[in-house]
Amino acid sequence: MFKNYLPKSVKEVFLETWGIFDFSMRFFREVFKPPYNLNEIIKQFFQIGNKSLGLVGITGFIIGFVLALQAIPTLQPFGATSLIPSMVGLGIILEIGPVITGLICAGKIGSSIGAELGSMKVTEQIDAMEVSASNPFNFLVISRVIATSLMIPLLIIYADAIALLGGYLAMNVVSDVSIGLYFTQVFDALDIGSLIGPVIKTFFFGFTIGIVGCYKGYNADKGTESVGVAANSSVVISSLMVIIWDMIAVQITNIIL
């Protein structure tokens, strides 16, 4: 067979990709089946959202601030500083905000889910749920993936807003711009059509971070070392997937628009 000629590392990539795809298909098969874990979903919403607000907010602020600050000396010689709000707005909302926040969430939330479920697997807690007929996939995986799919887009919108505010403060370091004028210029550069792509891709980011974290944790091997491996590989794979989804989203958006 052709698979026998593939190097081991390539085979592992294919097997991992198939594993995540198969795990995702199980999610879609089971997501509408009862029991529905509303309390667990709300708990995960809180864990994922509330506990990431600080990190995502600070990161967003710095990105917006630095982006505007870098743009000022570049555009000032051409007398084009009035274009900075539009440039900052487009850059943050279409690209930098979602991708950077996606990567931050892959690190913080992906590793947390991978380590938590990995630890539950190693200490036989997932097996204990399984043998008590409690369907751990339904309870643990579906609640977490729903929570990341809905909460990460909200975190990205929040980060975008803070980043735009950071951009406004950076502009006020060198010139006096009213907040009304700044945001009018930001939103003049954007239309509803151009926002659809970035919004849709954030759901893909959220789903990917949740499903990869759950997959790696749920399938962790025995031993405490596996918890670290699950957390680490969750971050690596979901970060890579965020970049890949972003590339695909840009291509599709360009074709459509």
Partner 1 sequence: MDRAETVIDIEHLKKSFGKNTILKDINLKINRGETIVTLGKSGTGKSVTLKCIVGLIKPDSGTVKVLGKNIPDLSYEELQYIRKKIGFVFQSGALYDSMSVRENLQFPLMRNTDLSKDDINKKVEEVLNDVGLSQAIDKMPSELSGGMKKRIGVARTIIMNPEIMLWDEPTTGLDPETTRDISHLIVRMQRKYKVSSIVVTHDMICAKIVANRIVVLKDGTYTDSGTYDELESSDDDFVRSFFEEVKEDENSDLTNYKSSDPEEKSLKK
Determine the size of the site formed for partner 1 (CB under 8 A).
16
Nearer to partner 1, 24 or 135 (CB): 135
Stretch that binds partner 1, among 65-73, 130-138, 182-190, 208-216 (CB under 8 A): 130-138
Q: Which of 31, 131, 181, 247 contacts partner 1 by CB under 8 A?
A: 131
133 binds partner 1 (CB under 8 A): yes
For 36, counting Cβ atoms within 10 Å of its Cβ (0-12 exposed, 13-18 middle, 19+ buried), the class is: middle
What is the rounded CA–CA span in Å between residue 16 and residue 195?
A: 33
Neighbours of 218 (CB within 10 A): 20
Per-residue x/- track, 89-128, partner 1 (CB under 8 A): ---------------------------x---x--xxx-xx
Q: Which of 86, 135, 219, 253: binder of partner 1 (CB under 8 A)?
A: 135
For partner 1, the closer of residues 132 and 254 by Cβ is 132
CA–CA distance, 9 with 238 (Å, rounded to integer): 18
Nearer to partner 1, 35 or 79 (CB): 35
Residue 132 contacts partner 1 per CB under 8 A: yes
Distance CA 251, CA 65 (A): 28
Q: Which parts of 24-63 interact with partner 1 (CB under 8 A)?
A: 35
Q: Is 134 in the site for partner 1 (CB under 8 A)?
A: yes
Can residue 22 be called a binding residue for partner 1 (CB under 8 A)? no
Give the nearest distance from C-beta 137 to partner 1 in angstroms.
10
CB 27 within 8 A of CB 149: no
Identity of the residue, 60 or 136, whose beta carbon is nearer to partner 1 in the bound complex: 136
Instruction: Out of 58, 72, 129, 229, point to the residue binding partner 1 (CB under 8 A).
Output: 129
Q: Is 175 in the site for partner 1 (CB under 8 A)?
A: no
Find the distance separating the first CA and the last CA of the chain, reported in whole Å.
Answer: 44
Nearest to 231 by CA among 121, 107, 76: 107
Answer for the pair 156, 57: CB distance below 8 angstroms, yes or no: no
Q: Minimal distance in Å, beta carbon 57 to partner 1?
A: 26
Nearer residue to partner 1 within complex by CB, 129 or 236 = 129
178: left (phi over 0), alpha (psi -120 to 50) or beta: beta
Closest CA to 187 of 75, 69, 90, 83: 90
Which amino acid belongs to residue 227? V
CB atoms within 10 A of CB 226: 18
CB of 72 to partner 1, least distance (A): 48
Binding footprint of partner 1 on the chain (CB under 8 A): 35, 116, 120, 123-125, 127-135, 139
